[in-house]
Structure 1
């Protein structure tokens, strides 16, 4: 047996703690190279930590992914936080998050600041970013619909949730659709397959987990009260993004309607700038939730820029930290409750409906203004769905096409 084989075997049987700096560098490389969205990110993580580094086995990784898909928030980022937590404690969790998040956050803030400085000079290619967003969201809607709404009851539930969201275009309407989906799933849906089972090192005691969960719920309750009674934009900004990070099930593109309902009606970010940034977010690696940094940077309120980006970014990711560190010590018990699994089936179908509503308004209604726009969006969808072109390339091509006057 070689020295490397001995190290690998030891890593599997006696998982060692990693220095936070080492964890940061590993996730920084992933943050620079992980294109393709949350599903692709989970594939990159599996290759890096199961196959290459052998930090955990296939069953433990599948169990961790199941937990993160069960919780609200960005699943791939939560998996990364949990991996950092299991290897380096809370410092490791923070290091993994910073490494994976920093590259795309910086790129999107720079894009936002450049957009603000340019004014309307680049309106044509910004329209291209909105057209590209149509194709990207359509692809996500298609994939999520096939996976999460494979039968008549869940497809019907998704369409009903979309109707509710469009009839009541507010955060309350979206929450109502999610709650109704959970109740429908609990009462009428069933799952034939048990969740994969293998323990994951929590690195957090149960008492600490309870404290973190209490903090999560306290912030969720108290921040809206504080924002209502305060004139501070910082409090309102942090509250809006904390709620978005706390209430979005499915992660990725599902956050679009929640963020849109928080920043556009309030006048913080215009709808055109919102969709342009969302299109740009498809062209960078790392988690899609770093779109929050862009929104904080381009806000019409003060502070904006780098400080606004930092507040929005911490606000939207903090719930993931509190939830994953708080729930992980109890996951072995929680996963046994079949009713929870049934409710999640309904919630997942409802969030597909929310994405369908967002696909129509604001994505479609603000981007598709002519036959040329529809043609470009169709070509982009074809490239993404059937030619398997990387999203960043499709976004760049569509933006160039509109910049040259084709849309």
Structure 2
């Protein structure tokens, strides 16, 4: 067996283990990666790992999956990168696609309790993300004002183009309003991306984004694929920010219901691996001749732009990370991300209040357990579902 094939197989099984055990979201994934790949297997130094993580945080896309992709590339080239992506994503994707296939069978009373519990999990996790991201990304009033304005604009004009406009305006405003972050000294990354790979990745990213931004195609399936790529290309700030983009693309036109969307989002919080795996769940719900094949295409197109960007930008990173204007623009975009997430949160929160005041109490307790005591999201899901069971017992139909 060729040496590179052996290396890619080792990458696959290493990341399959991580995909089965990495609960807790992107930041927790970084901890798992560091423990397994840096402390245990010594793939890179701590400084190199930190630099690669900075690049993935800087770019739109799923940061932990991008980091895994580039670490796989470092070990076994493009085959290793693909092996890392497939292995890390497969467990969560299969679980969510399975949920989508059997969602109609959850119409029983017990199934409805699970569904309502997962909807509460989605509300709790997004609220926690808004708070934690707000503290980190909006530390001063200029950035707080940018976040508030972004939220107001998207409450009034809730469309995908409005979100893109908000991001672009925030980048320009950030160059003027935001203080530059402290400069970081560039360090050797230990990964060499050939110029050809970098150029092809950049051209592919831009070309596909142009296609995604064209008016939606007449075919529902092709239009959906446009939306998956568009969402993956514009998710600044982590996986939670994909919520408003996917909701606008699939819930607003009626391709899936908001209940189906929130159930999938809540379930995505409870499985290990990347939150972007929700693309497989949505793809399996959209009517098609082959739900499994379409779910696989949805997954690939959601992750593809982030991978293309990291391959394109990696050789340029030493110059980009020290550019003041770049730092300011990204600070503005990150502030707008908080506003985008807040605008998306208001819809489900309004429905929650209308549905059942007692669910507000359940959500507040769950939020406290998650934010204050750092309880695992898996246990938060158990709390929400258990509370629905208790509530049904106290208020029988």
TM range (shorter): over 0.9
Aligned position for 1:243: 230
Distance in 1 (CA, whole Å) between partners of 2:350 and 2:119 is 10
Q: Deviations over 1:135-165 (max 9, x none)?
A: 1111111110111111111111111111111
- 1:400 counterpart residue number: 386
Q: Cα–Cα, structure 1 residues 17 and 310, in superposed 2: closer, same or farther, change >3 Å?
A: closer
Offset of residue 17 of structure 1:
9.8
Matched, 1:47 2:46: no
Is 1:331 paired with 2:320?
A: no
Q: Secondary structure at the match of 1:285?
A: coil
* CA offset digits 1:112-150 (Å, max 9, x no partner): 111123346522331121112111111111110111111
Asked if the contact 1:237–1:311 (Cα under 8 Å) also holds between the matched residues in 2, the reply is no
**Cα contact 2:91–2:272 (8 A) shared by 1:** yes
| Residues 155-164 or 123-132, more deviating | 123-132
Counterparts of 1:20-31 in structure 2, within 5 Å, are 20-31=8-19
Residue 232, structure 1, aligned to residue 214, structure 2: no
Check if 1:279 corresponds to 2:228.
no
1:156–1:64 CA distance, 2 compared to 1 (3 A): same
Residue matched to 1:98: 86
What is the rounded CA distance, in whole Å, between the counterparts of 2:295 and 2:156 in structure 1?
32
| TM-aligned CA deviation for residue 175 of structure 1 | 1.1
CA contact (8 A) 1:63 1:195 kept: no
The superposition leaves residues 73-125 of structure 1 with CA deviations (integer Å, 9 ceiling, x where unpaired) of: 01111111110111111111000001110000011111111112334652233
- Tell me, yes or no, if structure 1 residue 131 matches structure 2 residue 120: yes
Query: How far apart are the structure 2 equivalents of 1:158 and 1:304?
Result: 41
8 A Cα contact 1:293 1:309, kept in partner: yes
2:68 aligned residue (73, 77, 80): 80
Q: Distance in 1 between matches of 2:182 and 2:7?
A: 38
User: Is the aligned partner of 1:222 residue 2:208?
Assistant: no
Indicate the residue corresponding to 1:13 in structure 2.
Answer: none
Residue aligning to 2:199: 210
What CA distance in whole angstroms lies between the structure 2 residues aligned with 1:269 and 1:371? 26
Q: CA deviation at 1:263?
A: 0.5
Structure 2 residue corresponding to 1:372, chosen from 358, 363, 378:
358
1:107 aligns with 2:90: no
Partner of 1:61: 49
TM-score (ref. length: structure 2): 0.93
Aligned residue in 1 for 2:340: 354
> Is residue 389 from structure 1 mapped to residue 378 from structure 2 by the alignment?
no
Structure 1 residue 185 displacement after superposition: 1.0
For each residue in 1:175-224, what CA deviation from the matched residue of structure 2 results, as whole angstroms up to 9, or x when unmatched? 11111111111112122411352222334211320111001100111244
* TM-score, with structure 1 as normaliser: 0.91
SS of residue matched to 1:19: helix
1:202–1:325 CA contact under 8 A, matched in 2 = no
Deviates further, 241-250 or 317-326: 317-326
Shift, 1:304, TM fit = 5.8
Query: Structure 2: 5+ residue runs without aligned partners?
Result: none
2:211–2:226 contact (8 Å) kept in structure 1: no
- For 1:90 and 1:327, locate their aligned partners in 2 and report how far apart those are by CA, in whole Å: 16
Tell me the CA shift for residue 404 of structure 1: 4.2
Check whether the contact 2:48–2:190 (CA below 8 A) recurs between aligned residues: no
CA distance in 2, matches of 1:340, 1:224: 24
Question: How many equivalent pairs are there?
Answer: 388
Contact 2:53–2:67 under 8 Å retained in 1? yes
Q: Does structure 1 residue 160 correspond to structure 2 residue 123?
A: no
Aligned residue number for residue 326 of structure 2? 340
| Cα RMSD (Å) | 1.8
Partner of 1:316: 302
